[in-house]
Amino acid sequence: AMVGLAPRHSSAQAPAALDGPAALRLAREKRDELVTLLSQLIAVSSPLGESAEPAQRAVAAYLDARGYTSDLVTDDPTAYTSH
């Protein structure tokens, strides 16, 4: 399952790429909210990938609150088990 992303406003530009030190600094600044998001994702039981919707919704809510819109996509991971 995937979440499609787009800036909420068409005039919004994608954020610039971050170098290693800038990315680390940003991660440190956002640590609490990232720990909260990751805790929500870890709490989603999905041993076969079939219950990705709760994880998608958690990520979508996080991103929507930060100015992105997201499209939830349904996938059937068991369709690929023979590959």
Q: How far apart are CA 24 and CA 75, in angstroms?
A: 33
Sequence-distant (6+) residues with CB within 8 A of 71 are: 3, 4
pTM attached to this predicted model: 0.61
* φ, ψ dihedrals at 72, nearest 5°: -85, 135
pLDDT band at 2 (very low <50, low <70, confident <90, very high): very low
The string of DSSP letters for 28-40 reads: HHTHHHHHHHHHH
Question: pLDDT band for position 64 (50/70/90)?
Answer: very high
